[in-house]
Amino acid sequence: MTAAIATEGLTKSYGSVKALDNVSLNIEPGELFGLIGPDGAGKSTLHRILATLLKPDAGKAAVLGLDVVRYYSQLRDRIGYMPERFSLYHDMTVMENLRFFASLFGVNIADSYPLIAPVFRQLSKFPDRMAGKLSGGMKQKLALSCALIHRPEILLLDEPTTGVDAVSRSEFWDMLGSLREKGITIVVSTSYMDEATRCGRIAVIDKGRVLAAGTPDALTRHMSGKLYNAVASDMFGLLTRLRKMPEITDCYTFGSTLHLITTGRFDPAGAIGYLKAEGIADARIYPATPGIEDIFIQLTRDD
Ligand code: ADP
Ligand code: MG
């Protein structure tokens, strides 16, 4: 089976900034694949290369088996791309936007409607509203409808949920799930670590490099059993004491608790005893469920 997307040693710099550094990824047909990383990680650069809009300095990228530099014009008909900042025309209505994108690709809206209907359903109630007057969630749905208008096989979505409310974010992920069931391969980037669990597989990226790739479960599994929460009334005192324990490899603030990454020799009862001797009498330590954020912290520290 040909990979839907394959990159090998992909590298791209802007002046002295290496935006992508030797990125090799394989994405299979029908995957919902997440690019997870903070601002500046290189997510948009990778999207633009895959969308055939930017050339890499080195390395290769193939989409649907076709090299993105050589076969860019063929690929543009087969790729749907939703850039980071929605590319809608704010002074055009909902329908005018849709018609405009349909005309760019020379397709009929009616032919594409079965595919976009689940995304477009709510919007179809106000076809004449200016795109600029839509809520964030509705703009996002219109932008996705426009990206789907030519029935692409590959959908590239660059931070589609940034700045959108939590309910719309969740609805959006549900829609991606149903598009995926229709066989579309989806690559979606996000800086919200909690969205990683909505993807089949993810790549964790930082400073242009892929730090790890796999299912969210597989990535968090190797950390389970090693991660603990710790709380006490004196959180700063707790942090400085715990950081001195050799069985704790890392200790950081996580919401209102501390997360401890521990070695196999860590004993919570022993730690409580040590903290008491140090004057911290009310500490509690209990197992934590690792999330992608923990994985990310560990990966970037190891770096
Ligand atoms: P992300 O989308 O993950 O935030 P980007 O791909 O936008 O990351 O950026 C990666 C790095 O490249 C960042 O350090 C960013 O500042 C830099 N960069 C991106 N685009 C440009 C550009 N057009 N000119 C100069 N530097 C850029
Ligand atoms: Mg970006």
Question: 176 and 46 in one domain?
Answer: yes
Q: Which of 16, 36, 44 to mutate to test the pocket of ligand 1 (most atoms within 8 A of CB)?
A: 44
Ligand closest to Cα of 159 equals 2
Check whether residue 171 and residue 229 sit in a common domain. no
Name every residue whose Cβ is closer than 8 Å to that of residue 42 and which is 6 or more positions away in sequence.
12, 19, 20, 21, 23, 205, 207, 208, 209
**pLDDT at residue 218, rounded to an integer:** 92
Q: Which pLDDT score, from 0 to 100, does residue 222 have?
A: 77
Concatenate the DSSP letters of all residues of the chain into one string.
Answer: ---SEEEEEEEEEETTEEEEEEEEEEE-TT-EEEEE--TTSSHHHHHHHHTTSS--SEEEEEETTEETTTTHHHHHTTEEEE-SS----TTSBHHHHHHHHHHHHT--HHHHHHHHHHHHTTGGG-TTSBGGGS-HHHHHHHHHHHHHTT--SEEEEESTTTT--HHHHHHHHHHHHHHHHTT-EEEEEES-GGGGGGSSEEEEEETTEEEEEE-HHHHHHTTTTSEEEEE-S-HHHHHHHHTT-TTEEEEEEETTEEEEEE-TT--HHHHHHHHHHTT--S-EEEE----HHHHHHHHHHH-
Q: Which two tokens stand for residue 250?
A: 């890392």
**Whether 285 and 200 share a structural domain:** no
Query: Residue 224 has what pLDDT?
Result: 74
Query: Phi and psi for 176 in degrees, rounded to 5?
Result: -60, -40
- Confidence at residue 125, expressed as pLDDT on a 0 to 100 scale: 95
Q: How far apart are CA 95 and CA 87, in angstroms?
A: 15
Contact 246, 191 (CB under 8 A): no
What is the CATH number for 171?
Answer: 3.40.50.300
What residue's CA is closest to ligand 1, atom 13?
40
Q: What is the pLDDT of residue 211?
A: 93
Q: Which residues line ligand 1 (CB under 6 A)?
A: 14, 17, 19, 37, 39-45
Let me know whether 56 and 141 are in one domain: yes
Smallest CA separation from ligand 1 atom 6, residue: 42
To test the ligand 1 pocket, which listed residue (45, 192, 193, 296) has its Cβ within 8 A of the most ligand atoms?
45
Q: Residue 183 — left, alpha, or beta (φ > 0 → left; ψ -120 to 50 → alpha)?
A: left
> Which ligand 1 atom sits closest to the C-alpha of 205?
3
Of all ligands present, the nearest one to the C-alpha of 40 is: 1
* Residue 6: predicted pLDDT: 98
Mean pLDDT, consecutive 10-residue segments, the chain of 303 residues? 93 97 97 95 98 97 98 96 86 96 95 93 94 92 96 97 89 94 96 91 96 93 86 96 94 94 92 96 95 87 68
CATH code of the domain in which 252 resides: 3.30.70.100
pLDDT at 303: 60
Ligand nearest to the CA of 37: 1
Same domain for 169 and 32? Answer: yes
Please tell me the predicted confidence (pLDDT) of residue 248: 94
d(CA 154, CA 135): 26
Structure tokens at 220: 């968090």
Predicted pLDDT at 302: 65
Q: Do residues 210 and 238 both lie within one domain?
A: no
Q: 105 with 191, same domain?
A: yes
Nearest-atom number in ligand 1 for the CA of 15 is: 25
The whole-number pLDDT of residue 223 equals 78
Q: How far is CA 242 from CA 264, 267, 274, in A?
A: 16, 12, 9
The reply to whether 162 and 209 lie within a common domain is yes
**Tokens representing residue 194 in the block:** 């909690």
Is 167 in the same domain as 240? no
Q: pTM value?
A: 0.91
Among 172, 193, 215, residue at a domain's last position: 215
Ligand 1 atom 15, closest CA: 40
246, 196: one domain: no
